[in-house]
């Protein structure tokens, strides 16, 4: 059973439909104690990082216990950013602090050549962009270098040793991260066609 967490910040319908298409049983837990029976947890999210404050101490404890029992967790978009220490978007709210680093606003422009001026990048970053695979990963198994996925975000996580897939948009940022049973994607796999379904399938395979 996959627990799809509803904290008022995600398009659960599209994620639930994608999981149902893959034959997964999905539940929306009403209380942290409900996570005890979940084989895997997905934390979706769109919008401001501050909404993650709804996942208070009881939720954090239950999610950490889930990971300690070697059961997988997947964060999507803001849900991935929440895996880190925090975000400049909401300085007063800490993340789950499983991964080191702070999410920052994407650069609005980048100097390409002093003689040519600058190339501008609109924020938010919305649309399809390519993945650069940085290391082997269970989450991105079967995903090819340069595969396209769908993004919609203004803030992004840094490229660290936990990054398994990066994307360039003005600057390089972590598009997919992984550490042991914890994974995260900045893009929306439920909107990323066959590549996104492959990633969700990889997560489901991690569930025992």
Which residues form the catalytic set?
77, 188, 190
Element (H, E) at 59: helix 57-68
Tell me if the bond preceding 124 is cis, omega within 30° of 0.
yes
d(CA 28, CA 38): 10
Q: Do the Cβ atoms of 74 and 189 come closer than 8 Å?
A: no
Q: State how beta strands 125-130 and 148-153 pair.
A: antiparallel
d(CA 19, CA 200): 7
d(CA 109, CA 52): 28
């Amino acid at each position: 059973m996959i627990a799809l967490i509803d904290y008022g910040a995600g398009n659960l319908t599209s994620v639930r439909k994608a999981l149902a298409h893959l034959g997964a049983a999905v539940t929306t837990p009403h209380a942290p104690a409900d996570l005890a029976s979940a084989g895997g947890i997905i934390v979706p999210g769109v919008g401001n990082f501050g909404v993650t404050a709804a996942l208070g101490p009881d939720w954090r404890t239950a999610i950490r216990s889930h990971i300690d029992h070697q059961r997988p967790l997947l964060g999507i978009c803001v849900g991935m950013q929440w895996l880190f220490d925090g975000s400049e978007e909401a300085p007063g709210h800490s993340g789950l602090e499983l991964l080191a680093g702070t999410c920052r606003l994407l650069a609005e422009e980048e100097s390409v050549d002093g003689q040519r001026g600058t190339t501008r990048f609109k924020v938010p970053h919305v649309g399809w962009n390519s993945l650069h695979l940085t290391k082997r990963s269970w989450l991105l198994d079967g995903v090819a270098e340069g595969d396209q996925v769908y993004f919609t975000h203004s803030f992004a996580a840094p490229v660290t040793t936990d990054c398994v897939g990066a994307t360039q948009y003005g600057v390089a940022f972590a598009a997919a991260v992984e550490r042991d049973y914890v994974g995260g994607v900045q893009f929306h796999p439920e909107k990323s066609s066959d590549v996104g379904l492959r990633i969700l399938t990889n997560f489901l395979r991690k569930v025992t």
